[in-house]
């Protein structure tokens, strides 16, 4: 399902500016395959909602083309695009009951009464809200409103559904449950979903592919495991999951690996992913769970020593905060076991990792 070659939604060199001075979306190129669950993930203000609104037709692209199923939609008004949408605040019509809300898109399509009733019932059952058809949105809990909003976006069988932070207002537990349900519905119906969030764990659990946005640009577009394990640049490494950074200078590049020099003069090897030639600054990225306490450095491993600053007991594992080469927030995750008991706050310890797991990225 991932990496579909026949693009259903295409953004081609799309730019957007609200005020004519700053570009909110800069040169966006994005292909979304049919049936794909694509998430736009990024910090606040990075232009995610703007992209969604351009796709839905509520904002016009300043430059570039947006194509839906091969046809340019720049001049198609929103109500003719046939795109289902779930808004951040749900936008359920407060003066209509749940059933009337769901019937609305069918009524404007001039569907027969019996058809409408059947479809509304099916959609409500799909989100387990069958018993709530007669209620007003105000009489529902946040999670229930959210389900109704999803059902309403799907009831007229759109091929594409956009969701703008639909779970933003829910508490953690409910959010996790709804993530599962939305994912489930997506798999069942096979609709294409473009999902916006700034919660990375939400993006990782639900998506086929994630587009990481920052500063109006897609930083990386990849399936979740790739994004976590092989970040292309420092922003993605830092934004997705926990990350340790070490600043260094490139000494030489030799095939896949780069030889880098830390500030204290020690040399080390790292995977040359996104670093410049010899002499340029680089930032090394290391996941906390890929670092081990070990004084013996094996041939394919790299090692440093660090000062143990803090031990945080989390049951199954221990987080060790260390000071390593000037970085005071270097975190190591160790499984709870015999080796942890040897660690003492204030003592130095040897750290090792595989050169494969240390990625030399841009110094930004």
Which residues make Cβ contacts (< 8 Å) with residue 253, sequence separation at least 6?
259, 272, 275, 277, 278
Would you give the binding string for other proteins spanning residues 320-359, x where CB under 8 A is met? Answer: ----------------------------------------
- Nearest distance from C-beta of residue 90 to other proteins, angstroms: 9
49: contact with Mg ion by CB under 5 A: yes
Residue ranges of alpha helices (H) inside the chain are 48-56, 98-107, 113-126, 142-154, 172-189, 200-206, 224-229, 234-239
Among 33, 105, 216, 224, binds other proteins (CB under 8 A): 105
Which residues make Cβ contacts (< 8 Å) with residue 154, sequence separation at least 6?
84, 123, 126, 161, 185, 189, 191
Q: Cβ closer to ligand ATP: 47 or 143? A: 47
Q: Is 213:28 a contact under the CB 8 Å cutoff?
A: no
108 binds, among other proteins, ligand ATP, Mg ion, none (CB under 5 to 8 A by kind): other proteins
Residues 18-77 that bind ligand ATP (CB under 6 A): 18, 24, 42, 44-50
Among 56, 211, 284, 332, binds other proteins (CB under 8 A): 56
How far is Cα 333 from Cα 350, in angstroms, rounded to an integer? 14
Tell me the residue length of the chain. Answer: 364
Residues 275-314 that bind Mg ion (CB under 5 A): none
Q: How many residues bind ligand ATP (CB under 6 A)?
A: 11
- Nearest distance from C-beta of residue 125 to Mg ion, angstroms: 31
Q: Cβ closer to other proteins: 103 or 185? A: 103
How far is Cα 286 from Cα 228, in angstroms, rounded to an integer? 11
24 binds, among ligand ATP, Mg ion, other proteins, none (CB under 5 to 8 A by kind): ligand ATP
Which residues make Cβ contacts (< 8 Å) with residue 341, sequence separation at least 6?
none
Q: How far is CA 345 from CA 256, 319, 348, in A?
A: 37, 12, 8
Q: How far is CA 62 from CA 36, 218, 238, in A?
A: 26, 18, 31
Q: What is the DSSP string of 256-304?
A: TEEEEEETTS-EEEEEESS--STT-EEEEEE-GGG-EE-SPPPTTEEEE
333 binds, among ligand ATP, other proteins, Mg ion, none (CB under 5 to 8 A by kind): none
Among 2, 93, 134, 348, binds other proteins (CB under 8 A): 93
104: contact with other proteins by CB under 8 A: yes
How far is Cα 321 from Cα 314, in angstroms, rounded to an integer? 13
Residues 131-170 that bind other proteins (CB under 8 A): 152-153, 156, 162
- Nearest distance from C-beta of residue 49 to Mg ion, angstroms: 3
How far is Cα 186 from Cα 130, in angstroms, rounded to an integer? 19
How far is Cα 98 from Cα 359, in angstroms, rounded to an integer? 51
- Of 57, 85, 60, 81, whose CA–CA distance to 150 is shortest? 85
Q: Cβ closer to ligand ATP: 198 or 209? A: 198
Q: Cβ closer to other proteins: 58 or 180? A: 58
Interface region with other proteins, contact rule CB under 8 A, candidates 40-48, 88-96, 225-233, 336-344? 88-96
- Nearest distance from C-beta of residue 44 to ligand ATP, angstroms: 3
Q: Cβ closer to other proteins: 51 or 236? A: 51
Which residue number places its CB atom closest to ligand ATP?
49
- Nearest distance from C-beta of residue 216 to ligand ATP, angstroms: 7
As a dihedral over the C-alpha atoms of residue 265, residue 271, residue 273, residue 278, rounded to 10 degrees, the angle is 40
Binding positions for ligand ATP, rule: CB under 6 A = 18, 24, 42, 44-50, 198
Binding positions for other proteins, rule: CB under 8 A = 56-58, 77-85, 87-89, 91, 93-95, 104-105, 108-109, 152-153, 156, 162
Binding positions for Mg ion, rule: CB under 5 A = 49
């Amino acid at each position: 399902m991932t990496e579909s070659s026949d693009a259903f939604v295409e953004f081609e060199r799309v730019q957007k500016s609200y005020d004519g001075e700053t570009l909110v979306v800069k040169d966006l190129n994005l292909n979304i395959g049919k049936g794909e669950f694509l998430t736009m993930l990024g910090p606040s203000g990075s232009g995610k909602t703007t992209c969604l609104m351009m796709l839905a037709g509520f904002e016009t692209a300043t430059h570039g083309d947006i194509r839906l199923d091969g046809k340019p939609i720049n001049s198609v008004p929103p109500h003719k695009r046939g795109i289902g949408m779930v808004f951040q605040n749900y936008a359920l019509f407060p003066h209509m009951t749940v059933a009337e809300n769901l019937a609305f898109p069918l009524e404007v399509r001039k569907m027969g009464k019996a058809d409408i009733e059947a479809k509304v019932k099916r959609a409500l059952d799909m989100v387990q809200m069958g018993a709530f058809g007669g209620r007003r949105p105000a009489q529902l809990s946040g999670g229930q409103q959210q389900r109704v909003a999803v059902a309403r976006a799907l009831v007229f069988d759109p091929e594409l559904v956009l969701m703008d932070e639909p779970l933003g207002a829910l508490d953690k537990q409910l959010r996790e449950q709804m993530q599962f349900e939305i994912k489930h519905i997506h798999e069942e119906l096979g609709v294409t979903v473009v999902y916006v969030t700034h919660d990375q764990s939400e993006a990782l659990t639900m998506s086929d592919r994630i587009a990481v946005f920052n500063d109006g640009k897609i930083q990386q577009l990849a399936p979740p495991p790739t994004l976590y394990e092989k970040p292309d640049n420092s922003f993605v490494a830092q934004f997705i999951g926990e990350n340790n950074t070490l600043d260094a200078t490139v000494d030489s590049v030799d095939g896949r690996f780069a030889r880098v020099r830390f500030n204290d003069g020690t040399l080390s090897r790292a995977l040359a992913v996104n670093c410049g030639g010899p002499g340029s600054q680089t930032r090394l990225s290391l996941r906390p769970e890929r670092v081990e306490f070990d004084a013996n450095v094996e041939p394919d491993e790299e090692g440093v020593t660090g000062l143990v600053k803090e031990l945080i007991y989390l049951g199954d594992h221990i987080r060790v905060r260390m000071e390593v080469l000037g970085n005071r927030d270097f975190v190591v995750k160790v499984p709870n076991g015999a080796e942890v008991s040897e660690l003492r706050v204030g003592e130095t310890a040897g750290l090792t990792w595989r050169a494969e797991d240390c990625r030399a990225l841009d110094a930004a």
